[in-house]
Amino acid sequence: MLFTVIADEEYLMQLNRHASKGLWIAAIAGAVAVVGCIDHSVTGPNHQNAAGLAVRLLLQDGNGQSGAVGAALPTPIAIKVLDANGLGVPGATVTFSVRKGNGTLGSPTAVSDTAGVARTTWKMGNTPGAGSVTAILSTALVLDSVVVTATAITGPAAIVNVTAGDSQNAGTGSLLPTAIAVQVTDILGNPVAGVTVNWSLAAANLGGTVSPASSTSDANGNATTQWTLGAFSGVQVLNVLVAGAPTLAVHANAASPNANATFKIVSGNGQVGQSAGQLQQPLVVSVADAKGVPISGVQVNWAQGSGNLDGHIAPNPAVTDANGQASVLWTLGANNRDSVAVDSVTATLSGNLPGTGTLVFTASARPAPRVRFIRGTTAGQPAGSQVDTTGATLGDTLIMQVYDPATGNGVAGISVTWTPQAGDAVDGTSVNSVVTTDNFGYAKNIWVLRSNAGVPIPPNTVAKRMIASAANIGQVEYRARVYPGRWSNVSVVTAPVNLHADSSNTVVFKVTDSNGYAISGATIGVAVTAGTASGGGFTAADGTFSVAWKFGAAAGPQSISITVTTFATGPYTETRGPSTY
């Protein structure tokens, strides 16, 4: 019995139709079948016995070729049909189909010849890349297939197209502003790499040059060169030569140097800008020949005026484009005066262009904005200084202004950052860390003598500082003197230790405010119900004072009264007491 493995599910149905002739089919793994036949029970297309039955295909020729896109491969595909004994089977039909590469076949089917070989031709598709053809043994009871591969390659150079730089205008002897660019392709439009492109100036282009004179096309088929026009006035021609392709002519219009050219301002003159700032509009000039034809490729040189040498022009020099125009951006010089300054730049041309001179652009440079103090003072204190107690919100709103010194008007939209100089735990906090100036140029804020943690800052006779800063403009400094709050407690630090009648003791007291901070410099008054007391005076830096108290001679309760006056230690005068101990 003969067994043949079939890998094409499509033909299993065909085989099933022959089951009555002694064939049996078993499916293996879904797409593979085993066909068995009993010797001499089945014949082939010419009624030969099993020894002549077509059972296998052999790829004989035409595999692994390379050919130009759109062209037939030099060697036809040859497939040999074999029987079970490896002998050629004539008259068998082989079906061919393109599976990859979009090529075409000379014939989709072929019948094997007397040697059992079936042939067809294969024409490559229009796009470079890999391709494949499948050959299938058809109209036979036993099926087989083979795959033939080939590679389509780009064809030879056949076409050259200009992609940039054609029909430019420039003065004779000028370098064209745009490089000449071409693309080399095969007959089907596929880019051809590695091709030599020669650039040849026409005979009339006296003095003209190209650089380079020869280029090699890149992976995309592109090649470029720079063209400097010759002395001939009118249309000049550059020929592009590529072997296998028609000559391509690139043209340029050359303006005569012997006729007066025009050089004029197009736009950008008379603008108003900020000191050291870039003007909103570019400076634009134009160059044309006597007939008004724009001249491209002309170099325009720019120079700052004597009063604004720190200004900046970019690019410098500039080169006129295909419309004969050159455009630059102007950054004005710094103006540190209180009035508007007039800046200037000049534009001149390089090369021999009669009739052109020097163009002058001017612009008004507003002085740089300034900052100034507006408000934030306690009555009787220097400007910008306030006085209050620890934990308090300063009574006067802090106001600063960003203004234009030329007009005195405020400048809106400027961000002002408010920062305590030594940190919020020392100098307190502002309600807003950043404020944007309003239409009057004002930035306003509130100063709280309290840290972000909610703790009143310690009292200190050294001025606290709050800084209002406008970036790259300036800053305003505010100050505050912080004192303890109104006294709320007189505590005993050192109590009497000798409690006998007529004995002497030193008693130490401490005066603090409601936040527990010591009050220094307070005036102390002392009175006793019996005996004598001396001392008091003023509280020390730590808020303490001492009293020498001699008890009276009679035994029994005795007391001391303390009166505190704080007029010397804060922004208020207050007398409280007595407190009895």
Give me the mean pLDDT over the 313-340 stretch: 92
* Amino acid occupying residue 24: W
In 189-233, DSSP assigns E strands to 196-201, 209-211, 214-216, 222-228
**How far apart, in whole angstroms, are the C-alpha atoms of residue 390 and residue 460?**
9
CA atoms of 119 and 132, how far apart (whole Å)? 16
Q: Do domains 2-153 and 487-580 have the same CATH topology?
A: yes
CB within 8 Å of 385: residues ≥ 6 apart: 377, 378, 463, 478, 479, 480, 481
Query: Domain spans of the chain?
Result: 2-153, 159-255, 262-366, 370-483, 487-580
Name 222's Cβ contacts closer than 8 Å, sequence gap at least 6. 163, 181, 182, 183, 184, 191
CA-to-CA distance for 359 and 219, rounded, in angstroms?
46
pLDDT of residue 457: 81
Q: Rounded distance, CA 234 to CA 237, Å? A: 10
Q: Which residue has the tokens 């005996």?
A: 531
Residue 252 and residue 229 in contact, taking contact as beta carbons nearer than 8 Å: yes
At residue 20, the 3 state secondary structure works out as: helix
Average pLDDT over residues 105-123: 96
Tokens of 514: 């409601």
Does domain 487-580 correspond to CATH entry 2.60.40.10? yes
Q: What are phi and psi of 424, to 5 degrees?
A: -65, -25
User: Could you give the CA distance from residue 118 to residue 134 in angstroms, rounded to a whole number?
Assistant: 13
* Domain range 370-483, CATH architecture: Sandwich (2.60)
Query: What's the number of CA atoms in the CB half-sphere (13 Å) around residue 141?
Result: 30
CATH superfamily of 262-366: Immunoglobulins (2.60.40.10)
CA distance 197 to 223: 7
- Residue that has been written with the tokens 């005795």 in this structure: 558
Q: Which residue has the tokens 């780009």?
A: 154
Region 159-255: CATH code: 2.60.40.10
Q: Dihedral sign, CA of 457, 459, 465, 466?
A: positive
Question: Which residues sit opposite 175 in a β-bridge?
Answer: 228
**151-182: per-residue pLDDT in tens?**
999 999 999 999 999 988 777 888 888 999 99
CATH for 2-153 is 2.60.40.10
CA 397 to chain CA mean position, Å: 42
Average pLDDT score over residue span 271-299: 89
Q: How much is the pTM?
A: 0.47
- DSSP assignment letter at 243: T
Has residue 18 got a pLDDT over 60? no
The yes-or-no verdict on residue 33 having pLDDT over 50 is no
Per the model's pLDDT, the better-predicted residue between 238 and 454 turns out to be 238
Single-letter residue type at 365: A
What's the average model confidence in pLDDT over 19-39? 34
pLDDT value, residue 463: 74
